[in-house]
Structure 1
Amino acid sequence: MRITIENLQLRYGDVTAVHDLDLEIGDGESVALLGRSGCGKTSTMRCIAGLEEPTAGRITIGDTVVFDAEAGINVPPNKRNVGMVFQSYAVWPHMTVFDNVAYSLKLQKVPKAEIRQRVLRTLELVGLESLANRGASLLSGGQMQRVALARSLVMRPSVLLLDEPLSNLDARLRDRLRVELREIQLRLGLTAVYVTHDQLEAFSLADRIALMQDGRIVQMDRPDAMYHSPVSASVAHFLGVANVFDVVGTEAGRWNITGTDLAIASTSEPGLGEGGLKACVRSEDVQLSAERPSGPNAYPATVLVSGFQGTSTRYTVSIAGTLELDVVTSARSGTRFANGERVWVSIAPDAVRVLPEKAVSPAVSGDTAIRERVAS
């Protein structure tokens, strides 16, 4: 079902958690609300679910207005046909897996035969059919999270809301469950809203990402577009760009790096925004070599720290003792530099993005094609 949010505001006394937020999520689309703690992403989700009463605005799920401050409409959570999966599993340890998933259906007085059919079908969907009779206290963390997901799916929600459901799991299990969650969402054609502070989870699970800062959506786009084209330095830094430094323009395509005698060339044009301009360079776009490379943005440097990470090697290098860069190189390159070794650093001008510190207004794009795809 389509979700439409208009001019949503949520205030707690003098504190505003959500500022005039507008968001449209297509039928069958998966949208991730991404941002740091306190940015308003969970508050927005709780407003959709009916667990928070907004101060102002309007929320529509499908053709039903579930909240409208001006009209005095506020549909209770149990009438919105919304399923929620929380960060904490909230699994009843004294019940079996089957009884945990069946509990809500029993409260609704669904016939026993239908309960059994729906529960077993849902457990099969999440890969727990063989554990139906096992006590929930005997489950692993990943299995408990699947039970929590099954408990929401068995209610056949039109919208599935997930609030950082994988954050309590170890890294390898998170990777596997990301894929499984995405497969289930696509298979069922569910409209999903996923709250997370983890960019990898957002990239893996979402058709579009709404990146939030200070209660506002500052950029909304497809994961690949957002990764390659952040609208501000603060967005770039949050998305994992480690090398961000202040710059001042001197001539077209050339910038002085503040606090150093260094200059850097860039092919990007700064967008509109607030605060000073910053040059942003991803760690994997910085090249290291033993010999001086040709072209612009070549600097002699010293390796301060070298750390092998399996598929890659991470370095911290110092240029002229005034600028430190984070560098990631592929382990397959076969070249490894030691701590204290002299090297050359090179950066292609098209890998240098000059961006304002903060975006002036939300940048929303990439939504038309997504909506057409999920509607077809």
Structure 2
Amino acid sequence: MKITIENLQLRYGNFTAIENLNLEIDEGESVVLLGKSGCGKTSTMRCIAGLEEPTAGRITIGDTVVFDAAKGINLPPNKRNVGMVFQSYAVWPHMTVFQNVAYSLKLQKLPAAEVKSRVAEVLELVGLSDFAQRGASLLSGGQMQRVALARSLVMRPSVLMLDEPLSNLDARLRDRLRVELREIQLSLGLTTVYVTHDQQEAFALADRIALMQGGRIVQIGGPTAIYNEPASASIAHFLGVSNIFDCTATVGADGYVTAVRTGGEVIRTEQRGLATADDFKACIRSEDLVLSNVSGGGTNEFSGRVAVTSFQGSSIRYAVTLDNGGELDVFAPTKGAERFAIGDRVFASVAPENVQVLPADVVRQARLQEVAA
């Protein structure tokens, strides 16, 4: 079902957790709320589910208004047909897998045959058919998370909400379950709201990502657009851009942006135009820098010495202390690239098309504009 959130606010005394949030989630769409701890993403999900009462605004699921502050409407969670999967598995260890998944159906006093059929259906879906009679205390973390997911799916919710459900699992298992979760969401056509602080998880699971800062959605779009076109330097940093420099920025007669780093280097781009802001940063991804032991004499070149090397399997990470102050973070492929040692003098270059000059922080800029208005 479609979810519509209008002018949502959530305050605790003088603290604002959610500030005038608007969001539409289409039927069958997977939207990931992404951001740092405290940005308001879990609070937003809890408001949709009915676990938190907003201060103001309106929330509609399908054709049903589940919350409207102005009209005094606030449906309880059990009337919203929303399934929830949390970071904590909350699996009953004294029950079998079947009993855990069937528990909520038995509370509804459904016929035994229907309970058996529905549980078997979801256990097949999450890959636990062979574990139906196994005690939950004997399951691995990944299997417990599948039980928690099955327990929500067996209720046939209109909307599925997942709050960092994979954060307790090891890296390889997380990678595998991301794919499985996405397959389940697509096969069922479920409208899904997923909360995470892990950008890789967001990229893997989302049709759209709503990136949150300070209780607001500061950017929303498909994973590719969010990755390639962050709206601010703070967003770029959160998405893994390590090299962010203070700079002054200008638009030349040719329409292209040029930045001058505080250290003195002139950084040219293929970017056309600048957003309205009072503070700009030059942003360069670590993997877009090329290291050499000789100067190329071209544009966008930084000189310095290798301070740290870190072998990371398919890549080597270098920390380069720059001659003009500051540090560069550089990723180089393990194979086919020149190797450098600590203390080596190096020159790092980046193509103009791989430089972005962005406002420092869109939340700060928005608040400045609100004050000015």
Give the TM-score band, short-chain normalised.
Answer: over 0.9
Instruction: Output the CA distance in 1 between the equivalents of 2:361 and 2:326.
Output: 23
Larger mean Cα displacement after TM superposition, 341-350 or 264-273: 264-273
Instruction: Output the CA distance in 1 between the equivalents of 2:169 and 2:116.
Output: 29
Determine the structure 1 residue equivalent to 2:281: 278
Kindly indicate whether residue 56 of structure 2 is the aligned counterpart of residue 56 of structure 1.
Answer: yes
What is the CA-CA distance between 1:70 and the residue it aligns to? Answer: 0.9
What is the CA-CA distance between 1:341 and the residue it aligns to? Answer: 1.1
Instruction: Output the CA distance in 2 between the equivalents of 1:257 and 1:46.
Output: 43
What is the CA-CA distance between 1:265 and the residue it aligns to? Answer: 1.6
Instruction: Output the CA distance in 2 between the equivalents of 1:181 and 1:250.
Output: 45
Correspondence for 2:311 among 308, 312, 315 = 308
What is the CA-CA distance between 1:38 and the residue it aligns to? Answer: 0.4
C-alpha root-mean-square deviation of aligned residues, in Å? Answer: 1.4
What is the CA-CA distance between 1:269 and the residue it aligns to? Answer: 4.2
Determine the structure 1 residue equivalent to 2:16: 16
Kindly indicate whether residue 260 of structure 2 is the aligned counterpart of residue 256 of structure 1.
Answer: yes
Amino acid at match of 1:60: T
What is the CA-CA distance between 1:271 and the residue it aligns to? Answer: 3.9
Amino acid at match of 1:292: S
Determine the structure 1 residue equivalent to 2:124: 124
TM-score, normalising length: structure 1: 0.93
Instruction: Output the CA distance in 1 between the equivalents of 2:122 and 2:75.
Output: 27
Amino acid at match of 1:333: G
Amino acid at match of 1:313: I
Preserved contact between residue 9 and residue 56 of structure 1 (Cα < 8 Å): yes
Q: Deviations over 1:293-317 (max 9, x none)?
A: 2531123321111111001110001
Q: 5 Å matches for 1:143-292?
A: 143-249=143-249, 252=252, 253-258=257-262, 260-269=263-272, 271-292=274-295
Preserved contact between residue 301 and residue 348 of structure 2 (Cα < 8 Å): yes
Q: Secondary structure at the match of 1:261?
A: coil
Determine the structure 2 residue equivalent to 1:106: 106
Q: Secondary structure at the match of 2:162?
A: strand
Kindly indicate whether residue 35 of structure 2 is the aligned counterpart of residue 31 of structure 1.
Answer: no
Q: Deviations over 1:173-220 (max 9, x none)?
A: 100000000000000000000000000000000000000000000000
| Percentage of pairs with the same residue | 67
Q: Secondary structure at the match of 2:186?
A: helix
Change in 2 beyond 3 A, CA 1:183/1:361: farther
Determine the structure 1 residue equivalent to 2:320: 317
Determine the structure 2 residue equivalent to 1:298: 301
Correspondence for 1:350 among 338, 350, 353 = 353
Larger mean Cα displacement after TM superposition, 90-99 or 315-324: 315-324
Preserved contact between residue 265 and residue 300 of structure 2 (Cα < 8 Å): no
Runs of 4 or more, structure 1, over 6 Å off, are none
Larger mean Cα displacement after TM superposition, 89-98 or 323-332: 323-332
Preserved contact between residue 273 and residue 358 of structure 1 (Cα < 8 Å): no
Determine the structure 2 residue equivalent to 1:370: none
Preserved contact between residue 275 and residue 358 of structure 1 (Cα < 8 Å): no
Change in 2 beyond 3 A, CA 1:155/1:73: same
Change in 2 beyond 3 A, CA 1:43/1:251: closer
Determine the structure 2 residue equivalent to 1:133: 133
Determine the structure 1 residue equivalent to 2:2: 2
Preserved contact between residue 218 and residue 361 of structure 1 (Cα < 8 Å): no
What is the CA-CA distance between 1:276 and the residue it aligns to? Answer: 1.1
What is the CA-CA distance between 1:278 and the residue it aligns to? Answer: 0.5
TM-score, normalising length: structure 2: 0.94
Q: Secondary structure at the match of 1:284?
A: helix
Instruction: Output the CA distance in 2 between the equivalents of 1:114 and 1:198.
Output: 38
Correspondence for 1:332 among 303, 318, 335 = 335
Amino acid at match of 1:63: D
Preserved contact between residue 86 and residue 162 of structure 2 (Cα < 8 Å): yes
Amino acid at match of 1:192: T
Q: Secondary structure at the match of 2:343?
A: coil
What is the CA-CA distance between 1:270 and the residue it aligns to? Answer: 5.6
Change in 2 beyond 3 A, CA 1:58/1:250: closer
Amino acid at match of 2:258: R
5+ residue gaps, structure 2: 368-373
Preserved contact between residue 50 and residue 75 of structure 1 (Cα < 8 Å): yes
How many matched pairs?
Answer: 361
- Flag the structure with more relative contact order, 1 or 2, with Cα contacts below 8 A and sequence separation at least 6: 1
Instruction: Output the CA distance in 2 between the equivalents of 1:115 and 1:341.
Output: 68
Preserved contact between residue 264 and residue 324 of structure 2 (Cα < 8 Å): no
Change in 2 beyond 3 A, CA 1:250/1:63: closer
Q: Deviations over 1:217-243 (max 9, x none)?
A: 000010100100001111111111000
Instruction: Output the CA distance in 2 between the equivalents of 1:355 and 1:348.
Output: 17
Determine the structure 2 residue equivalent to 1:85: 85
What is the CA-CA distance between 1:33 and the residue it aligns to? Answer: 0.3
Q: Deviations over 1:320-362 (max 9, x none)?
A: 1512100001112242111111122101111111111112459
Q: Secondary structure at the match of 2:335?
A: helix
Amino acid at match of 2:238: F
